[in-house]
Structure 1
Amino acid sequence: MIRSLSPRVEAVFWFLLTATGYYLLASLSLYATKGADNIAAVWPPSGYFLALLLLMPDRVRYAAFAAMALASVGANISGGVSPLTATAYTVANAVEATIALLLIRRFEGAEMSFMAPRAVGRFCVATLSASAASAVVATALTANGPDFFLSWMTTVALGMLIVTPPIVMLARIVGSNALHNVSTAMKIEAVGLLTMAAFVTGASFAQSEFPVTFLPCVAVIVASYRLGPFGAAAGMLIVAAIASLLTAQGQGPIAAMNYSQKVEVLFLQFYLVTMLFIALPLAALLVVQRRLAKRLEQSNRWLLQAEAAALVGHWRVDLKAWTIQWSDQTYRVHGLEPGVPVDVDYSVAQYLPEDRAKVQKVLTEAVRTGEPFVYQGRIKRADGGIRHVRSHGSIEKGRRGKAVAIFGTVQDVTETVENARILESARSAAERVANTDMLTGLPNRRHTLAILDQVLCEARQQGTPLAVAIFDIDHFKQINDSHGHATGDDVIRRVGQRAKASLREEDLVGRFGGEEFVCILRGRSALSAELVAERVRKAVQTDSESGDGPGATISIGLAIFADEETPQDLLQRADKALYMAKRGGRNRLQMAA
């Protein structure tokens, strides 16, 4: 707490603070509320000293214990206790403080918190254990009996349970400057609630005609609800002080019970313990509940932001009530304002007819099997727009494993689908460009070889006939030299078009390079392939005889598939046949051997 002082001055500060506070509280308690065997009904000095031990640095604790010993002996002697007995009491109080401090440090470490139910429970265990040990020591040193033991233990335990929490919490609130963050209205409310607790307690214990001891409980619970653990601890301290003082003076419903003083003290202690064990855990639970509520609110806010950013909503169908719930983003995906009433049938009906049956089938199967599901379809939004959506989900099951609900997500994947379509179109276009000869528009060498390799495997596996023809333009160099390369290109183009027009849909003609072409004739026997190849040759010759451009003829080498291992083997046979056709005079067809 005090960090700007030197170690020696700091030790003196804590010594004086401990001695002064302990002596005043002990003297006041002994004077105001004496119970059986000259023991106070509540012993605040124990709680005060434990609070200081939790707040002070470790290095000044020896000075604090010395101050406590002097103050305790002095207060007890001043209260009429013999020096020997006063010393015994002091030793017992030192034992309780030591044990409580050690247990709290072991349970909670360096920082004792009263904001969590588990921490409050451990604090109660530590103080009750310490008070029991202290009672054993005091009883043994003073040679008293069980009544003294019980009275000592309850008195000391109440002192620590009631006094320690508000002192520790207030000191930490002040030390952390948390009060600067509290609004003036909240401060006024806190003062008002604690004043109300004091007034209600005073009114309840200043009279004995009406048994209204429950009213202070109500005041403490209200303070706990509004102010948290500090409100509970401070309210309990106020109730304990006023109730003990007035009861000791013979006022209030407890003093009017007409029992012995010992019974009245025990009943007052029971009353305070009951209220304490209600107020402190309740306040801690309220803190946990508020933290969880705040965390849940933040998580929901993040979920909504994430759904909006990812265009993902969620929905849930209650299979028993046959109702559906949509998140705000699900409404946006469907083009509706959040909160508009929707039902299950409406939700399914938004899918286009050709997708609706598929969605219903997937959901029905998921409910039957209990397995997760995923589907994609198109919905018609309220504004008439068509959107592609994808849903993932799972089945919620009841205690007997029966499906009770369907939970799923819905994501607008329209842009993804459109991007995929554009990408596929671009890929197809790029593939066409990569596989197409730019001059003739026919498959190029690479693509022709790939197709030939494919049909060769099919012919080998299925035993179907296959023929390959290679042809090139006769005297093409002379055409280029005489008419120019532009005319030569036009001749190549016309030859390719005439060849393609002469083939079936399942056949293929590709430009193999320069003025050379390859025809792949699927399912053709030798005779059929020969007829088709001859038709190609005549079509080119007829086109040349029409007088449109320089005349051109082709020579063709034809090879029938004979279990060749590679396309190159088959092409090599066709190429030899082409060579023989050229040697035989050109503009002719030659069948490979």
Structure 2
Amino acid sequence: MIRSLSPRVEAVFWFLLTVTGYYLLASLSLYATRGADNIAAVWPASGYILALLLLMPARGRVPAFAGMAVASIAANMGATTPFWTSLSFTFANMVEAIIALWLIRRHEPGELSFMAPRAVIHFCVAAVAASLVGAGLATLLAGRGGDFFLSWATTVLLGMLIVTPPIVMLTRMMELKAFGKVPRAMLVEATAILTGAGAVTILVFSQSHFPATFLPSIAVVAAAYRLGPFGAAAGMLIVTIIASLLSGQGYGPMAAIDSDPKVKVLFLQFYLLSLLLAALPLAALLIGRQRLARRLEQSNRWLLQAEAAALVGHWRVNLVDWTIYWSDQTYRIHGLEPGTPVDVDYSVRQYLAEDRAAVQRVLEEAVRSGEPFEFHGRILRADGQVRHVKSHGSIERGRGGGATGIFGTVQDVTETVENARILEAARSAAERVANTDMLTGLPNRRHTLTFLEEAMAGARAHGAPLAVAIFDIDHFKRINDTHGHATGDQVIQRVAQRARSVLRDEDMIGRIGGEEFVCILQRASALSGEIVAERVRKAVENGVGQGDGLPPTTVSIGLAVYDGEQDIEELLHRADQALYAAKREGRNRMRRAA
């Protein structure tokens, strides 16, 4: 509350604030409403000092307790209470204030908030404990009986419960300058409600013909409902002041009670305590409900924003009445305006015919097993677009264990599917480029040797025949030197085309060097291998340089039949040796390895 004063001035401030307020409240209570043994019906001074202790810094407590001691002794002696009795009462009041402060700070080390139900409970428990300890101490020191103990405990308890909350909340609101932020209409409404509560209380407690003590309760509940904890606390304070003053003067429903003054005071205390215990927790619960509603509203808003950003919606099928709910984003995914009437059959019919049956099977199996589910499919939107969607969900079960609903999410994954397709196409294209000889379009050396390894493994495992033919272009250096490298490249391309055209479907040809090629002849015996190799030789001899503008070209071929070799190098070496034999014997011929 005070931040800019020097320590000495601040101590004087807290002393004067305590002594002035405590003396006025104590004197007014002792004068206005007296019960047995000169104990007031409500002791607001206890609530006042507790409020100051909660608001002030720790260094202000010593001068505050000094001011309380002076004010308490003066007020009690002013009510004709003997000095030693006044001193005993003052000591008991100081002890209960210390206990209440200690218990509150133990559970609420920060600022005590009457907006939280938990904090309200801790405050009430501390007030009850402090009032009981103070009553016991005062009874012991004053040598009184059980009636005195009960009267003391109830007056102090009511003082703390009724006076402390409005002082603390009002001070906090002033520190935060909350009144300047409140709309004018709300201030007018608050003034009208609290004024109405005062008027109703005056009407009820100024006469005893019509005991309508429930009317102030309605006013306080209305204040709690519209204004929250501050409204409840302020309304209770107004009702307490008016009811205590008028009852002390012999007016109101309490005056009609045919009993001694102690019973009348106890009835008034019970009335105020009942009203307080109904209003203050109710206000805290209402504030908690409002905060929960605001958090729920915010969570729903964030959920809608997240769904829109992620293109994810949610849906729920009620299996009892067979209705379906769609979130706004689910409508957008299906190309519909949010709120358009839909049913379960429509949501299933939007899937393409080839996907619809699979979706129905997944949902039926999920209902049967109760297990979470997931499915992919394509839907035909209302605007004619086909979109890929993915759904996840789970089954809701009732108390009896039966399925009562299906909850799921739906996500538009069209872009993901398209990106995956593009990525796969790019990967396949890159793989083709990596495995293809760019000049001839045939498999390159790496791909050819890999294919040969797989073919040899299959032959070894299944006992199938396999043959390998290696051939190269005869006198290719002479072609390059005479006609140029461009013509040499054309010759290589033409040889590749002619050789590939006469191979069987199960055979493969690849380029493994400059003018060198390999034919992998699967399921080919020695005889069939020789036939295919000879066919390749003739195709080149008769098809290259015969009216195509290229020089006449021939090839020499070495053939090796798989004979249990352990690796492809050994098999290729045998075929290579046969190729050298063909070249030595004059070229343009085929030779098979022994």
- SS class of match (2:506): coil
Aligned position for 2:486: 486
Amino acid at match of 2:356: R
Deviation at 1:204, TM superposition (A): 1.5
Q: CA deviation at 1:396?
A: 2.1
Structure 1 residues 65-144: aligned runs within 5 Å = 65-144=65-144
Structure 1 stretch displaced more, 318-327 or 343-352: 318-327
What is aligned with 2:280? Answer: 280
Q: How far apart in 1 are the matches of 2:60 and 2:538?
A: 117
Q: Find the residue that maps to 1:392 and give its secondary structure.
A: strand
**Could you list the per-position Cα deviations for residues 197-239 of structure 1 after superposition, in whole angstroms to 9, with x for gaps in the alignment?**
1111111211222222111111111111111111111111111
The match for 1:397 is 397
Matches within 5 A, 1:177-188: 177-188=177-188
In structure 2, list runs of 5 or more residues that go unmatched. Answer: none
Alpha-carbon offset, residue 87 of structure 1? 1.2
Tell me the amino acid that sits aligned with residue 136 of structure 2: V
What per-residue deviation string (whole Å, max 9, x for no partner) do you get for residues 228-280 of structure 1? 11111111111111111112222222321222211111111111111111111
Q: Which amino acid in 2 is paired with 1:552?
A: T
1:145-224 counterparts in 2 under 5 A?
Answer: 145-224=145-224
Q: 1:135 to 1:505 in 2, by over 3 A?
A: same
Letter in 2 for 1:588: R
**Partner secondary structure for residue 317 of structure 2:** strand
> In 1, are the aligned partners of 2:491 and 2:544 still within 8 Å (CA)?
no
Q: Distance in 2 between matches of 1:356 and 1:457?
A: 44
SS at match of 1:4: coil
Matched, 1:565 2:538: no
Instruction: Name the CA distance, whole Å, in 1 between partners of 2:461 and 2:273.
Output: 93
Output one character per residue of 1:35-84: Cα deviation in whole Å (capped at 9) or x when no partner.
Answer: 12211111111101111111111112111111111111111111121112
User: For each residue in 1:141-179, what CA deviation from the matched residue of structure 2 results, as whole angstroms up to 9, or x when unmatched?
Assistant: 111111110111001100000000000111111112222
Structure 2 residue matching 1:513: 3-state secondary structure: coil
Distance 2:524 2:211 in 1: 114
Q: Distance in 1 between matches of 2:306 and 2:461?
A: 54
Q: Distance in 1 between matches of 2:458 and 2:294?
A: 68
Name the counterpart of 1:472: 472
Deviates more, 1:279-288 or 1:476-485: 476-485
Is residue 406 of structure 1 aligned with residue 399 of structure 2?
A: no
Cα distance, 1:545 vs. partner? 6.7
Aligned to 2:557: 556
* Aligned twin of 1:459: 459
CA contact (8 A) 2:474 2:555 kept: yes
Letter in 1 for 2:121: G
Local SS of the residue matching 2:273: helix
Match of 1:6? 6
2:312–2:329 contact (8 Å) kept in structure 1: yes
- Cα distance in 2 for residues equivalent to 1:415 and 1:436: 31
> 1:245 & 1:408 partners in 2: Cα distance?
64
Amino acid at match of 1:283: A
Distance 2:288 2:448 in 1: 74
Higher deviation after alignment, 182-191 or 213-222: 182-191
Residue 436 of structure 2 aligns with an amino acid whose one-letter code is T
Alignment-mate amino acid for residue 565 of structure 1: Q
* Residue range with higher mean Cα deviation, 359-368 or 60-69: 359-368
Q: CA deviation at 1:365?
A: 2.0
What is the distance in 2 between the residues matched to 1:316 and 1:564? Answer: 65
Contact 2:555 2:589 in 1 (8 A): yes
Q: Give a deviation string over 1:2-30, Cα, whole Å, max 9, x none.
A: 11111111111111111111111111111
Distance 1:300 1:317 in 2: 20
1: CA distance between counterparts of 2:592 and 2:88?
128
CA drift at 1:587: 1.2
Corresponding residue of 1:323: 323
Instruction: Quote the residue 2:375 is aligned against.
Output: 375
* C-alpha distance in structure 1 between counterparts of 2:175 and 2:146, whole Å: 43
Counterpart residue number, 1:588: 589
Distance across 2 between alignment mates of 1:297 and 1:454: 63
Alignment gaps of 5+ in structure 1: none
Q: SS of the counterpart of 1:505?
A: coil
Give me the whole-angstrom Cα distance separating, in 1, the residues matched to 2:406 and 2:572.
62
Greater alpha carbon shift after TM alignment, 281-290 vs 482-491 = 482-491
Name the counterpart of 2:431: 431
Residue in 2 aligned with 1:21? 21
Opposite residue 410 of structure 1, the aligned amino acid is: V
CA distance in 2, matches of 1:216, 1:62: 39
- Given the two structures, how large is their TM-score scaled by the length of structure 2? 0.98
For residue 519 of structure 2, what is the aligned residue in structure 1?
Answer: 519
| 1:3 alignment partner, SS class | coil
| Equivalent-residue separation in structure 1 for 2:467 and 2:446 (angstroms) | 19
Deviations along 1:532-574, one digit per CA (max 9) or x if unpaired, are 1111111112213733321111111111112222222211111
CA distance in 2 between counterparts of 1:373 and 1:461 reads 42
Residue by residue over 1:481-501, the C-alpha shift from the partner in whole angstroms, topping out at 9 and shown as x without a partner, is: 222222211111111111111
C-alpha distance in structure 2 between counterparts of 1:288 and 1:564, whole Å: 84
For residues 217 and 563 of structure 1, the distance between their equivalents in structure 2, rounded to whole angstroms, comes to: 104
**How many angstroms does 1:578 deviate by?**
0.8
Q: TM-score, normalised by structure 1?
A: 0.98
**Mapped partners of 1:196, 1:262: distance in 2:** 30
Secondary structure of the corresponding residue to residue 211 of structure 1 = coil
Instruction: Please say if residues 495 and 544 of structure 2, whose CA atoms lie closer than 8 Å, have aligned partners that are also in contact.
Output: no
How far apart, in 2, do the equivalents of 1:295 and 1:110 lie? Answer: 23
For 1:547 and 1:440, the matched residues in 2 are separated by 21
State whether residues 247 and 254 of structure 2, in contact with CA within 8 Å, keep that contact through their aligned partners in structure 1.
yes
**Number of aligned residues:** 593
User: For 2:544, what is the secondary structure of its paired residue?
Assistant: helix
1:31 to partner: Cα distance: 0.8
Question: Per the alignment, in what secondary structure is the counterpart of residue 309 of structure 1?
Answer: helix
Residue 416 (structure 1) aligns with: 416
**How many angstroms apart in 2 are the aligned matches of 1:39 and 1:301?**
57
Q: State how far apart, in whole Å, the 2-side matches of 1:438 and 1:318 are.
A: 61
Partner of 2:310: 310
Q: Is the 8 A contact 2:494 2:544 kept in 1?
A: no
In the alignment, which residue of structure 1 is the partner of 2:225?
225
* Residues in 1 aligned to 2:545 and 2:36: alpha-carbon distance in whole angstroms: 139
Q: 2:562 and 2:17 mapped to 1: Cα distance?
A: 110
Q: Which residue of 1 aligns with 2:49?
A: 49
- Give, in angstroms, the shift of residue 432 of structure 1: 1.3
Q: What pairs up with 1:331-370 in 2 under 5 angstroms?
A: 331-370=331-370
Query: Are residues 1:61 and 2:61 paired?
Result: yes
**For residue 583 of structure 2, what is the amino acid of its counterpart?**
K
d(CA) in 2 for partners of 1:122, 1:545: 106
- TM-aligned CA distance change 1:44 to 1:545, over 3 Å: closer
**Alpha-carbon distance, 1:399 to partner:** 2.8
Q: Secondary structure at the match of 2:557?
A: strand
Q: Deviations over 1:444-472 (max 9, x none)?
A: 11111111122222222222221111111
Q: Which amino acid aligns with 2:523?
A: G
Distance 1:568 1:322 in 2: 70
